[in-house]
Structure 1
Amino acid sequence: MPEQLNYYQVAPDAMAAFIGLERYLSAQHDEQGLSEKLIELVKIRVSQLNGCAYCLDMHNKDSRALAETEQRLYALSAWREAPFYSPQERAALAWCETLTQWQQAEQRPEQLQQLRTLFDDKAIVDLTLTITNINTWNRLALCFGADVGSYKVGQFDHILKSS
């Protein structure tokens, strides 16, 4: 769907807050076991669940730029059956599905325990913030439209790296 409303122009202070969270999260990669590849997989999976074409385009392109394999990207929607995801990735993908599809919330306590065996508490909070943030970006793009297919790898790097 083409852009219907430019939320960056309408609510610049709110968008600055979301971008601030993205800056924080992008600075955390690899420090707590949350690699850029894992974060991109999570963003793709959430975007698949939400049906956000703009974000799927963006995060698939970003994953490929990080040398993610086509095989893993193609099988992501069936990650439970595919043998090529690590225990950390599996736990993160299960967590993103639970937080995105809240009807699965009864699984949350067991999943949190699983996450705690693989990540420290800060990484779990950062992962959770990543999931909630991509859910918000998905909803903004779905509600107000976006120029699907227009994203170029690195397009927003200058925003994420500025202070």
Structure 2
Amino acid sequence: MTKRVSADKVTLLPVWEEVPHLFSDQYRAALAWAEEVTRVSETHASDVAYAAAAAAFEPKDLVDLTIAIAAMNAFNRLGAPFRLPVKAQP
């Protein structure tokens, strides 16, 4: 079953660290890991960040999350240079 996320949460994703009360501990761990993996050329996926993510997720879930993050990064790296339009979902 797909869980819907409120528009307020989506709007506040860029500042998720400033509104921790809106996101669960696991959700914040996922967002932190996503930033770490997305900026891997800067962060090198630090041991500290990995330990925090591994503490929040079962091994398979962390693999699945990391694959999803990598896929989104790949889509963004293809979409931007090819000027693919962003489409809102109805």
Give TM class, smaller chain. 0.7 to 0.9
Identify the residue that residue 132 of structure 1 maps to in structure 2.
70
For 1:104, which of 43, 49, 55 is the aligned residue?
43
Identify the residue that residue 14 of structure 1 maps to in structure 2.
none
2:43 partner amino acid: Q
Residue 152 of structure 1: how far off its partner (Å): 4.0
Tell me if 1:94 matches 2:32: yes
How do 1:136-147 residues align onto structure 2 when only pairs under 5 Å count?
A: 136-147=74-85
Post-superposition Cα deviations, 1:78-118, rounded to whole Å, max 9, x if no partner, equal 1111021111111111111111112123x621122122222
> Structure 1: where are the runs of 5+ without partners?
1-29, 31-35, 38-65, 154-163
Contact 1:115 1:124 in 2 (8 A): yes
For 2:16, which of 73, 79, 84 is the aligned residue?
79
Mapped to 2, the partners of 1:104 and 1:136 lie a distance apart of 18
What is the Cα-based RMSD across aligned positions, in Å? 1.9
> What count of residue pairs does the alignment treat as equivalent?
88
Larger RCO: 1 or 2 (CA < 8 Å, sep 6+): 1
Structure 2 length-normalised TM:
0.83
SS across alignment from 1:80? helix
SS across alignment from 2:84? coil
Post-superposition Cα deviations, 1:42-101, rounded to whole Å, max 9, x if no partner, equal xxxxxxxxxxxxxxxxxxxxxxxx2x1122111110111102111111111111111111
Overall identity of the aligned pairs, in %: 31
Query: Considering only CA atoms, is the larger Rg found in Structure 1 or Structure 2?
Result: 1
